Amino acid sequence: MRTQDPKTIYLSEYQQPAFWVEHVNLTVSLFDGYTEVSSELTLKKNPDVASRELVLNGIDQDIQSLQLDDKQLSSADYHYADGVLTLNCDSEQLIFRAVTRIDPQNNTSLEGLYQSGSMYCTQCEAEGFRKITFYPDRPDVMATFTTRIEADAGQFPILLSNGNPVDSGALEGGRHYAVWEDPFPKPSYLFALVAGDLSSKDDRFTTRSGRDVTLRIFVEPQNAHKVDFALDSLKKAMQWDEEVYGREYDLDLFMIVASDFFNMGAMENKGLNIFNSAAVLASPDTSNDQRFERIEGIVAHEYFHNWSGNRVTCRDWFQLSLKEGFTVFRDTEFSSDTHDRAVKRIETVAGLRAVQFPEDNGPMAHPVRPDSYIEINNFYTATVYEKGAEVVRMIHTLVGPDDFRRGSDLYFERFDGQAVTTDDFVACMEQVSGLDLTQFKRWYTQAGTPRLSVTDDYDADSQTYRLFFHQSCPATPGQTDKRPFVIPVKLGLLGADGNDLPIHTRGNYNAGTEVLTLTDEVTEVVFTGVSERPVPSLLRDFSAPVKWSFGYSDEQLAFLAANDANGFNRWDALQQLYSRAILSMAEDHRAGRSLTPPSVLVETVANVAGDASLSHAIRASMLTLPGYAILKDAVDVVYIDDLIAARKHLVKTLATRYRDIWRSLTEKLSSDAPYEFNAEESGRRQLQGLSLWYWLKAGDQAAFDFAAELYASATNQTDRSNALRAVLAGDAEALQQSLLSDFYERWQSDTQMVEQWLTMQAGTPGMTVPGIETLMQHPAFDIKNPNKVRSVIVGFAMNTESFHDARGEGYALLAKVVQQLNALNPQLAARLVTLLSDWKRYDADRGKMMASALETILATDSLSSNVFEMAQRALKD
């Protein structure tokens, strides 16, 4: 809790610690009412630092005894305030021992050791270990750990920690113990401990060099049937990392534990990953395709961290993107290789534009490698993760796949067992490729999304085509002047027949796609031998995370959507066409004019819907309109009512004009085949779900009947939730109520299904603040459970039409929930604050109401530093 204005930490002030830790002996004894932690740290003086001050972090520690070598310490021997214990030590080698008591049963922050349902588990990233015992809790201190856990044998038969099990046995009084040894030096944020009554399922994987690894997933017994998919995903990920990066697993045992109470998606603790149940438990009956895909990606992500994060870790938390940007890039590539690359790229970019671009365009903007923070938990952001991954992707584009692999080999080899920086990563890529990436590194240090405006000129006589690129980057908090970025532009030039023209530039010849590297504010590129005026296809595969513009006519965008050889750019051209139409109709709505979508767009939609040469998944992506997050980010002032009216009008037009198309697609795409999760089948279900949604929007009774029947006869959750979502988006209230009650009746004992049930209701058009308050009173809701809070509160905030209610009741409700969570779970509370952070972009009335909700939050008694930092950043000019 905050007692005064919290302290800001600066990257420029980084210093190595005066003492390193070589080994940790930890004993954690769980008792009802308290937990006793005995730790023994073997410390060694860091010869590179003059100071002799041993600095240990420790929060909520009830000290029983402290000892330095053989000397018991009294409070006169050390200084302990604000979570930091300091003492001076003369020797070069020393042993520090601490016995403390902690209270995991009342730890609702879900950091450190806490109770999740009937089990105990830990979350130590970023700074949770200091809630377990005194420790130099910073990622550059890497030590080997021996962990002994003691607990009641009946209540907690399973006792787990990192590494390999080395001993176990019975103790007096019905208690027992287990000892785990982790031979790999690791930072404290990767420490993990679990105690519970869990069932497990095993599988095996033999690594390329012949190491036999046991894979084991622990879950509560009622979820035992939901682990097979995660085990399969894990094996696929292990094999992919061997093939693509040459990385093998290094312990004999790899464990995953599912926890119902978890702030994040999952955590890559060495050898003992702990997952949010929602990110690991899957069955066709309770998980839809999107959930399967998400689980596969997260299992892979956490596994990949074993190298990119654990073996080579971050020197300090400013380097968070070193492990996260690289690992998100790795898991995205894994998914692309496993399924459909173009579809994955579309999903990734749609997500980036909906979340990261708005973050970069508001008060929360920060560089991929931030310069300062108050609370590091507030920097687990889309910028560090998703933009960080785009930065790694651009390096991959610039150096090429072969040098990228050589660079990553060098990185893993050179820094194995060390804590390093993003500069170290880039230096490896420079060394193997011979490229100078000095200017490129501005992507790590400059915040904001660069703008790239492109114009062209064609001279028929000389058959010369010119493209002019002009880049700029808006000011962001604390950064007014931006210098030019290195921007890789992958492009093609389409001839009138829709095919790529050959590209001649700077003496190079290319049959289709070319990658240009822009380094200056203004760049002119000359293409020779261009036989006709082309339509440029720019930023293919979204080769750089920029906002780019070219003065296309609607017809040219429709042409690209129909012809571009690059699947991603076909989608992107249509997205531009949708956005342009919606934004212009929003202006018409504001001016009281009638709304008419451009006919070229309306016709293109019919062509895409009927284009059997496109995969189902690509068609579904192309027929999905940009969401409000993306539309809001494209205007200077958000008049939300006009945006909503315009987008709804376009949906209604497409739904009614093509009701026969939607009906026929919906019916044709039905299948009795048993459920299988693969690109082909999930694409079919996605297109069917979308067609049904449009068909229902046309208001046909036959569509409601179809949806009710699909819901009733569904043998998997994808079909069931497609039907339910379509019905909830329509206006048949009786049917909605009957399906929702049926859903709850049938699935109330399944945690993941109840979460989906809550999310669907919170997202229903027409949901109201009293409706949300009623939902929060439902026995299925629990404010201490982050998944439930996200389902209802974040679900509601994403429900643009309801959340932005003109009286501001949605904002006031959010402020109330943040105040309540501030004391229980500051990390989660701070995340909710970001839902109001774009207040300045709205019209004056709404902006004022959102700002006043933020001011209410800022005035909360005992405000945590987490929430304080976010609210004051959001309000700051």
Q: Which of 196, 151, 188, 193 is nearest to 59 (CA)?
A: 188
Indicate the residue type of 276: N
* 453, 547 Cβ separation under 8 angstroms: no
Question: For Zn ion, which is the closer residue by CB, 150 or 324?
Answer: 324
Question: For Zn ion, which is the closer residue by CB, 140 or 324?
Answer: 324
**Shortest reach from residue 319's CB to Zn ion, in Å:** 13
Instruction: Mark residues 176-215: x for contact with Zn ion by CB under 5 A, - for none.
Output: ----------------------------------------
Instruction: Mark residues 265-304: x for contact with Zn ion by CB under 5 A, - for none.
Output: ----------------------------------------
CA distance 35 to 844: 52
Pairing of strands 143-152, 175-186: antiparallel
* Residues of this chain, 319-378, that bind Zn ion according to CB under 5 A: 324
Question: For Zn ion, which is the closer residue by CB, 125 or 430?
Answer: 125
Strand partners, 872: none
Question: For Zn ion, which is the closer residue by CB, 379 or 695?
Answer: 379
* 295, 308 Cβ separation under 8 angstroms: no
**3-state helix/strand/coil string of 390-404:** HHHHHHHHHHCHHHH
Residue 791 DSSP label: I
CA distance 171 to 152: 9
Annotation marks residue 302 as catalytic? yes
Question: For Zn ion, which is the closer residue by CB, 189 or 695?
Answer: 189
Structure tokens given for 800:
């643009």
CA distance 202 to 228: 10
Question: For Zn ion, which is the closer residue by CB, 298 or 753?
Answer: 298
Write out the E strands in 125-271.
143-152, 158-161, 164-170, 175-186, 193-196, 199-206, 212-219, 253-259, 266-267
Indicate the residue type of 617: A
**Shortest reach from residue 305's CB to Zn ion, in Å:** 6
**Shortest reach from residue 331's CB to Zn ion, in Å:** 8
Torsion of CA 561, 565, 569, 571, to 10 degrees: 50
**Shortest reach from residue 198's CB to Zn ion, in Å:** 24
Question: For Zn ion, which is the closer residue by CB, 324 or 869?
Answer: 324
Start-to-end Cα distance in the chain = 26
**Shortest reach from residue 344's CB to Zn ion, in Å:** 18
Question: For Zn ion, which is the closer residue by CB, 34 or 380?
Answer: 380
* Residues of this chain, 310-329, that bind Zn ion according to CB under 5 A: 324
Question: For Zn ion, which is the closer residue by CB, 321 or 433?
Answer: 321
**Shortest reach from residue 7's CB to Zn ion, in Å:** 26
Question: For Zn ion, which is the closer residue by CB, 303 or 811?
Answer: 303
**Shortest reach from residue 749's CB to Zn ion, in Å:** 31
**Shortest reach from residue 314's CB to Zn ion, in Å:** 11
* 218, 253 Cβ separation under 8 angstroms: no
CA distance 503 to 529: 8
Greatest CA separation found in the chain? 95
Q: Which of 786, 804, 750 is nearest to 264 (CA)?
A: 786
220, 296, 302, 430: which one is catalytic?
302
Q: Which of 269, 41, 267 is nearest to 280 (CA)?
A: 267
Please enumerate in sequence order all residues whose Cβ is within 8 A of that of 599, keeping only pairs 6 or more positions apart, or say none. Answer: none
**Shortest reach from residue 301's CB to Zn ion, in Å:** 6
Q: Which of 351, 378, 352, 350 is nearest to 366 (CA)?
A: 378
Q: Which of 679, 676, 621, 756 is nearest to 348 (CA)?
A: 621
**3-state helix/strand/coil string of 82-120:** CCEEEEECCCCEEEEEEEEEECHHHCCCCCEEEEECCEE
Structure tokens given for 6:
């919290």
SS3 state of residue 306: coil
**Shortest reach from residue 215's CB to Zn ion, in Å:** 19
The C-alpha angle with vertex 350 and arms to 263 and 617, in degrees rounded to 5, equals: 105
CA distance 151 to 632: 53
CA distance 236 to 702: 43
Question: For Zn ion, which is the closer residue by CB, 324 or 430?
Answer: 324
Q: Number of residues in contact with Zn ion, rule: CB under 5 A?
A: 1
**Shortest reach from residue 346's CB to Zn ion, in Å:** 22
Please state the separation of Cα 641 from the chain's center in Å: 29
Pairing of strands 451-459, 143-152: unpaired
CA distance 412 to 419: 11
Please enumerate in sequence order all residues whose Cβ is within 8 A of that of 721, keeping only pairs 6 or more positions apart, or say none. Answer: 288, 756, 760
CA distance 727 to 288: 17
In the block, tokens 């459909």 appear at: 340
Instruction: Mark residues 609-648: x for contact with Zn ion by CB under 5 A, - for none.
Output: ----------------------------------------
**Shortest reach from residue 410's CB to Zn ion, in Å:** 22
- Enumerate binding residues for Zn ion (CB under 5 A): 324
Which are the catalytic amino acids? 302
